Amino acid sequence: MKSQAITGNFQEANVDAIAVAVFKDEKTTAPFLKELDKTTGGLIAGIFKDEDFKGDAGETALVRFAAGKGKPSRVLLIGVGKKEDYKVPAVGVLAGTAVRFLLKRNITSFVLVPRSEADAGEVAQVAMQSVITSQYGVDKYKTKDKNEKVVENFVLCVDGADAGALKSGLNRGEIVGESMNFTRDMCNEPANILHPTEMAKRAEKMAKETGLKCEILDEAKMKKLGMGSLLSVSIGSEQPPKMIVLKYEPKKSTGKKGELLAIVGKGVCFDTGGISLKPAEGMDAMKHDMTGGGTVIGTMRAIALLKPSIPVIGVVAAVENMPSGKATRPGDVVTAMNGKTIEVLNTDAEGRLILADAVAYAEKEGATTIVDMATLTGAVIIALGDLNTAVLGNDQDLINTIIECGKEVGEDYWQLPVGPGYSRQIKSDIADIKNIGAPRKAGTIAGAVFIQEFVDKAKWAHLDIAGTAWADDIKPHQGKGPTGVCIRTLLRMIEKSQ
Ligand code: BES
Ligand code: MN
Ligand code: ZN
């Protein structure tokens, strides 16, 4: 894809279409639309009148007109709602909507006129990211009927902006968008292809290409470290477990000495439930139970290329959860790396078992702040659906930062509580703790307070993405399938803490 930023004269751009944001109840008498209306010979005024186009968020209308050679001959009007509600994330929705609308009609080159008054670099970044992520599709394994249309030429026009700021924004947006798609590709892979060994291979290859340090801990190493909790999950599988450790070190750090952020992910490449076997219906969805891990790898890719000035470490616990003659049984007791004993009462509550050792390892590696991501509980889907990621943790400032950064990038988080009352519910009769809480009560919180048992002094937040990792419905700006959720929030958080 060719991309370019211009600072005016979009009607002269050498593309097929102009995609413009239209505010709610904006009249064609507004100077901007008046000019466009003139170009189209009054067709835009007609749309407002005849089709009752009001500029509500998500409304679209396409106008075709006669234009000079090499000039755009279509205008796509995209409603963005009230001007005062039009924030940077909405520019992403706008760009993605334009891409998907135009590609469906075989239009592969366009100029986007977002008309946002926000920082031009940010506008460029979010527009570019969305142009890339909106084209993502899940048809990799189709041999026919593949959707092969892609944007060939993307031009962004921000009137009067600084050209350098726009250009670097486009570059950053490309990094973020491609990193999100990198993660989404892993999530979409079936489990016969993306097992822990393959996941580790992809992380290693990415690390080599981007200059990150990468270490893969194998089963023997994990045994030596005493990761009995993680190993109790992988023991039933023919696929060996891998702990993927990625390290980013800035040339010159501006962070406080001794501070280290760790992002930690659940990488269950397939979750059958183990001996506590899941029902057949919908089990195929458990190929994306590695989304937390995939998110860590994609975020580390973006970090390596964006080069923030603070160090970050990424830890992924990659395993497969299978039933077999060697598998962990309900009632088994295992010992985690930090010495705590766990009664495994349900082998389907495996995410917390692998994260227990992963967060303990991150802290042992020097992490002072830990954010873990996991498709941990079905309960979070009941509570929040696919619109909010649950956030829980031991540090309110960290949680507030995540919620705030989420707002700024257009990802929603909702905090759930933790506390001694909930922690009591995971006490075991025969071991230190058990891996499930009270039956049918606060399942998402039970998962979080379990992981908390393995955090020592670090500030910690847990993001349960079971509801937000995968989109069941097509949106105007985003296809079905893996969403790449949390990556932008984490990157924002890192950007702000430099
Ligand atoms: N991977 C699942 C959670 C999940 C469900 C993710 C649906 C995405 C969509 C997790 O390992 C699991 O099985 N959790 C159990 C925990 C229970 C046994 C305490 C659940 O939520 O039912
Ligand atoms: Mn499970
Ligand atoms: Zn799982």
Which of the residues are catalytic?
Answer: 278, 352
Q: Whose CA is nearest to atom 9 of ligand 1?
A: 466
Residue 321 alpha carbon, nearest atom of ligand 1: 11
- Whether 185 is in a domain gets the answer no
Q: Give the distance (Å) from ligand 1 centre to CA of residue 347.
A: 10
Structure tokens at 230: 């993680």
- Residue 239: the pLDDT is 98
- Alpha carbon 238 to its chain centroid, in Å, reads 29
- Residue 31: the pLDDT is 86
From 348, 384, 450, mutation site for ligand 1 pocket: most ligand atoms within 8 A of C-beta? 348
- Whether 377 is in a domain gets the answer yes
Percent of the chain at pLDDT > 90 equals 95
Residues 235 and 129 in one domain: no
Structure tokens at 316: 């992924």
The residue from 129, 151, 177 where one domain ends is 177
Residues 168 and 208 in one domain: no
Q: Give the distance (Å) from ligand 2 centre to CA of residue 376.
A: 7
pLDDT single digits (tens) 350-390: 999 999 999 999 999 999 999 999 999 999 999 999 999 99
Task: Work out the average pLDDT over 228-248.
Answer: 99
Q: Give the distance (Å) from ligand 1 centre to CA of residue 176.
A: 29
Q: Whose CA is nearest to atom 17 of ligand 1?
A: 349
Does the pTM surpass 0.95? The reply is yes
- Whether 183 is in a domain gets the answer no
Domain that holds residue 171: 2-177
- Residue 265: the pLDDT is 99
> Any bridge partners for residue 319, and if so which?
268
Residues 228 and 140 in one domain: no
The residue from 177, 203, 227 where one domain ends is 177
Handedness of CA 32, 34, 38, 41 (dihedral sign): positive
pLDDT single digits (tens) 155-203: 999 999 999 999 999 999 999 999 999 999 999 999 999 999 999 999 9
Ligand (nearest to CA of 435): 1
Residue 268 alpha carbon, nearest atom of ligand 1: 1
- Whether 364 is in a domain gets the answer yes
Using pLDDT thresholds of 50, 70 and 90, give the confidence band for residue 51.
confident
Q: Give the distance (Å) from ligand 3 centre to CA of residue 277.
A: 11
Domain count, the chain: 2
- Residue 474: the pLDDT is 97
Q: What is the DSSP string of 47-106?
A: HHHHS-----TT-EEEEE----TTS--EEEEEE---GGG--HHHHHHHHHHHHHHHHHTT
CB 310 within 8 A of CB 497: yes
- Residue 452: the pLDDT is 99
Residues whose beta carbon lies within 6 Å of some atom of ligand 1: 271, 285, 289, 346, 348-351, 375, 377-379, 436, 443, 466
Handedness of CA 378, 382, 385, 391 (dihedral sign): negative
- Residue 479: the pLDDT is 97
- Whether 117 is in a domain gets the answer yes
From 272, 352, 353, 377, mutation site for ligand 1 pocket: most ligand atoms within 8 A of C-beta? 377
Ligand (nearest to CA of 377): 1
Task: Work out the average pLDDT over 473-483.
Answer: 97
Q: Give the distance (Å) from ligand 1 centre to CA of residue 268.
A: 11
pLDDT single digits (tens) 266-282: 999 999 999 999 999 99
Residues 390 and 360 in one domain: yes
CB 129 within 8 A of CB 176: yes
Residues 330 and 449 in one domain: yes
pLDDT surpasses 90 at 129: yes
Q: Whose CA is nearest to atom 3 of ligand 1?
A: 377
SS3 17: strand
- Whether 184 is in a domain gets the answer no
Q: Which residue has the tokens 């980013």?
A: 248
Q: Whose CA is nearest to atom 22 of ligand 1?
A: 378
- Residue 148: the pLDDT is 85
Residues 430 and 327 in one domain: yes
Residue 288 alpha carbon, nearest atom of ligand 1: 8
Angle in degrees, 0-180, between the axes of helices 163-188 and 291-306, rounded to the nearest 10? 150
Task: Work out the average pLDDT over 287-308.
Answer: 99
Using pLDDT thresholds of 50, 70 and 90, give the confidence band for residue 232.
very high
- How far is the C-alpha of 350 from the C-alpha of 352, rounded, in Å? 6
Residues 91 and 224 in one domain: no
Residue 350 alpha carbon, nearest atom of ligand 1: 11
Residues 166 and 289 in one domain: no
From 277, 289, 350, 355, mutation site for ligand 1 pocket: most ligand atoms within 8 A of C-beta? 289
- Whether 252 is in a domain gets the answer yes
Residues 232 and 145 in one domain: no
What's 307's domain CATH number?
3.40.630.10
Residues 202 and 101 in one domain: no
Residues 163 and 218 in one domain: no
Angle in degrees, 0-180, between the axes of helices 163-188 and 487-496, rounded to the nearest 10? 140
Q: Give the distance (Å) from ligand 3 centre to CA of residue 299.
A: 21
Ligand (nearest to CA of 466): 1
pLDDT single digits (tens) 21-42: 999 988 777 888 999 999 999 9
- Whether 64 is in a domain gets the answer yes
Residues 168 and 277 in one domain: no
SS3 263: strand
What's 146's domain CATH number?
3.40.220.10
Using pLDDT thresholds of 50, 70 and 90, give the confidence band for residue 255.
confident
Q: Give the distance (Å) from ligand 3 centre to CA of residue 274.
A: 10
Residues whose Cβ atom is located within 5 A of ion ligand 3: 268, 271, 289, 351
- Residue 28: the pLDDT is 79
